[in-house]
């Protein structure tokens, strides 16, 4: 399987992905492994368990971990900042924002912002 990183995700990158998926050359032997903004080439590790669900337009940044046997659900248009760990069976609602370096141990309601260790709601 070929792994693909798309550079310039802040603008044209996601459009390039849409074009690639529509092209005749796109097939299941390619995996979009992530997006690069600017000249970022360092640790891009993300671990997303096979039982997790990630809805459309959500962004999961580098060093995020959606734990093994997670059964977690990441809603639509969610932002997971860098170094976020999502515990098993957690739901992060649509349009939620999760700040950097958090352990998410409780469900996050749609549209809420959470920061701190452990994650706490911020109004």
What's the burial of 75, exposed, middle or buried (CB within 10 Å: 0-12/13-18/19+)? buried
Topology at the third CATH level for domain 43-123: UDP N-Acetylglucosamine Acyltransferase; domain 1 (2.160.10)
pLDDT band per the 50, 70, 90 thresholds, residue 59: confident
Residues of each domain in the chain carrying CATH 2.160.10.10 = 43-123
Give me the sign of the Cα torsion angle 49, 56, 117, 121: negative
Q: Contact 47/27 with Cβ under 8 angstroms? A: no
Q: Distance between CA 70 and CA 123 in Å, rounded? A: 27
Lowest mean pLDDT among 17-21, 25-29, 73-77, 101-105: 25-29
Over residues 75-91, mean pLDDT: 91
pLDDT band per the 50, 70, 90 thresholds, residue 16: low
DSSP 8-state class, residue 106: S
């Amino acid at each position: 399987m070929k792994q693909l990183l798309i550079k310039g995700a802040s603008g044209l990158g996601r459009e390039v992905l849409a074009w690639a998926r529509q092209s005749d050359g796109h097939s299941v032997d390619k995996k979009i492994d992530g997006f690069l903004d600017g000249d970022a080439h360092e640790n891009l590790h993300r671990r997303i368990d096979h039982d997790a669900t990630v809805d459309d337009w959500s962004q999961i940044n580098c060093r995020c971990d959606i734990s093994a046997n997670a059964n977690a659900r990441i809603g639509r248009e969610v932002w997971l900042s860098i170094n976020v760990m999502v515990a098993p069976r957690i739901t992060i609602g649509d349009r939620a924002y999760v700040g950097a370096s958090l352990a998410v141990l409780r469900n996050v309601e749609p549209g809420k912002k959470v920061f701190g260790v452990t994650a706490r709601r911020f109004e």
